A and B are shown apart, each in its own frame.
Chain A
Amino acid sequence: MSIASDIHKLLDETVRRERGWLISSLVSRLGPGKVELAEDVAQDAIVKALATWPYKGVPDNPRAWLRRVAGNAAIDRIRRSARELGIEDDWDFASPESDVITPSLSDPELDLMVLCCDPALSAQDQLFLALKTVCGFTAAETAALFFLKEDTLSQRLARAKRQLRSQSGELARFPTRFALKDRLPQLLKMIYLMFAWGYLPRRGEVLFREDVCREAIRLSESLLAQTDGQTAGHHALHALLLFQAARLPARLSVDGRLLTLEQQDRSKWDQARVFDGFAQLQAAQSSPALTRYHLEAGIASIHARAPSWARTDWASIVRFYTLLDQQAPSLAVSINLAVSQVYAGARDHAETELQKAEAFPGAQDLPGYHLARAKLFEARGNLPKAHEALRRAAKCRTSTPVGEHIARQAELIDAEL
């Protein structure tokens, strides 16, 4: 990799991460009504701090540097114009270094995430808000993640923030422990979605964003530590994240191509994460609850356990997906169920399942749907139809590495036709 592309990646990750941290820290000091102000101040401070790097080069520890310099710039700006910004004059800046810059014992990012999970907001707006503030994505990046126009997303964010601001009473303070428990299901969903976007962004130049995956795992860990009455579902979710993250190092070839589960070198899986995943899965079985996270973690654990692709227990995977399909039906579940049925040899079932998938809105725009059809046609030896399905898949919008993968599949079949 060239120095320039390393720099791009480093800047993207560092700035995103530190912007999220800075916004969260500022909101935790300024109060939940000041999300927008915190965003502005954080952005200004980061831009100011970053502007010296073209002359001085990247500091040895860019994250710590940005946190310190941008953090101080943010405090300066607020101190200078507290009244004008509509902040209490008695805001105590006595020891800003130790106050805002050092993370407190409680996790400001988690606090902000709980705040974003406001029941008055739609689930999607909650997620937009969290990605934009807690995770530090820009409006443009967040819009790209959800295939929205930047303007549309900005409008929705502005509305959501207005709504947060207009809340009084409970929201004059940060959500309490009680609220945290109340909002746990939504928090878990948010962590799940955040991880999913990191794992497969569906757009852009990269196959996955490991920093986003790591952040989701970190938030999940932090949340596990804060909720004493830990739910079995949360352990299951955490197991799922660990199993999936364990495979990240094996998902790209040396020359940057996507490697399917079948092609992956399993010795590259992160065994420490697999091990921790099984421990979490064990903890998830402490109650009879069977959430969708249990089922998904169960599927991931079967892959983690399989010594090779050929020795994968497809029958069990079909069983888990069938339960998932009953409990939380979705387009993605239908597609995955069909694919596992193909591998398990149940082609007729797979065909029925794909007909079900087709009925979901958006199926035609999802490359996975066409890839699943190609898989079924290929298993039945109908290469012309498989090729046609791959061509449909190639027309769908997706990330560059996935697009290239689809093109290679089509070439392979072309060669056999």
Chain B
Amino acid sequence: MAKFVLMLPHAPNRYNNIGEGEFMDLMKDYIGWVEEMSAAGKYASGEKLLAEGGKIVTNRSGSIEVHDGPFAEVAEILGGYMVINAEDYDEAVEIARSHPHMKHNETIIIRQTDPAADD
């Protein structure tokens, strides 16, 4: 079984002015999905990324510089990622289709991990 990373981006202001009821409904959808996938042996792990903060370290100018987030100018920020188990990209895409992120946001980016690293 191969591992795939689902990256879950969302608009920077997506969760800023959201009502309590709406937030709870979102949570229920996401948590329910994760629990179902875990029960089916498809969910491996995941991390939520903090919305605030963030740093960029760059040597573009010749020496190392550190810049602060947030990245207000970007269209989307990465909310978090999940690692799932799937046979191939077809199955990974099927799993992504059922993801509540497709109902509540716009995009999921899927990348397979290099299986050689596990050997």
Q: Is the CB of B38 within 8 A of A57?
A: yes
Q: Which of A43, A54, A138, A140 contacts B31 (CB 8 A)?
A: A54
Rounded to whole Å, the gap between the CB of A65 and the closest CB of chain B is 13
Q: Which of B24, B27, B34, B47 contacts A57 (CB 8 A)?
A: B34
Q: Is the CB of B36 within 8 A of A4?
A: yes
Number of interface residues of A (CB under 8 A): 19
Question: In the bound complex, how far is the Cα of B80 from the Cα of A334, in angstroms?
Answer: 58
Taking CB atoms and an 8 Å cut-off, the chain B residues in 2-39 that contact chain A are 20-21, 23-24, 27-28, 30-36, 38-39
- In the complex, what residues of A have CB within 8 A of residue B20's CB? 43, 47, 138, 140
Question: Is B82 at the interface (CB under 8 A from chain A)?
Answer: yes
Most A CB within 10 A of own CB, among B28, B34, B46: B28
Question: Is A328 at the interface (CB under 8 A from chain B)?
Answer: no
Question: Is A333 at the interface (CB under 8 A from chain B)?
Answer: no
Question: In the bound complex, how far is the Cα of B39 from the Cα of A11, in angstroms?
Answer: 18
Rounded to whole Å, the gap between the CB of B31 and the closest CB of chain A is 5
Q: Which of A3, A47, A52, A140 contacts B35 (CB 8 A)?
A: A3
Q: Which of B27, B32, B47 contacts A4 (CB 8 A)?
A: B32
Rounded to whole Å, the gap between the CB of B62 and the closest CB of chain A is 38
Question: In the bound complex, how far is the Cα of B38 from the Cα of A84, in angstroms?
Answer: 43
Q: Is the CB of B31 within 8 A of A58?
A: yes
Rounded to whole Å, the gap between the CB of B35 and the closest CB of chain A is 5
Question: Is A55 at the interface (CB under 8 A from chain B)?
Answer: yes
Q: Is the CB of B21 within 8 A of A54?
A: no
Given A7-B32, A54-B31, A138 and B48 contact (CB-CB distance below 8 Å) = no
Rounded to whole Å, the gap between the CB of B102 and the closest CB of chain A is 14
Q: Is the CB of B46 within 8 A of A56?
A: yes
- In the complex, what residues of B have CB within 8 A of residue A54's CB? 27, 30-31, 33-34, 46, 48, 80
Taking CB atoms and an 8 Å cut-off, the chain B residues in 64-97 that contact chain A are 80, 82
Question: In the bound complex, how far is the Cα of B21 from the Cα of A47, in angstroms?
Answer: 11
Q: Which of B24, B35, B47, B48 contacts A15 (CB 8 A)?
A: B24
Question: Nearest B residue to A8 by beta-carbon distance?
Answer: B28
Q: Beta-carbon contacts of A251-269 to B below 8 Å, as 1s and 0s?
A: 0000000000000000000
Q: Beta-carbon contacts of A41-54 to B below 8 Å, as 1s and 0s?
A: 00100010011111
Q: Which of B24, B33, B35, B82 contacts A58 (CB 8 A)?
A: B35
Question: Nearest A residue to B25 by beta-carbon distance?
Answer: A8
Rounded to whole Å, the gap between the CB of A415 and the closest CB of chain B is 39
- In the complex, what residues of A have CB within 8 A of residue B30's CB? 53-54
A-B CB proximity, top 6 nearest: A54-B30, A4-B32, A55-B46, A7-B32, A55-B48, A3-B36
List 16 contacting pairs A-B, 8 Å CB cutoff, sorted by A.
A4-B32, A4-B36, A7-B28, A7-B31, A11-B28, A15-B24, A51-B27, A53-B27, A53-B30, A54-B31, A54-B33, A54-B80, A57-B31, A57-B38, A57-B43, A58-B35
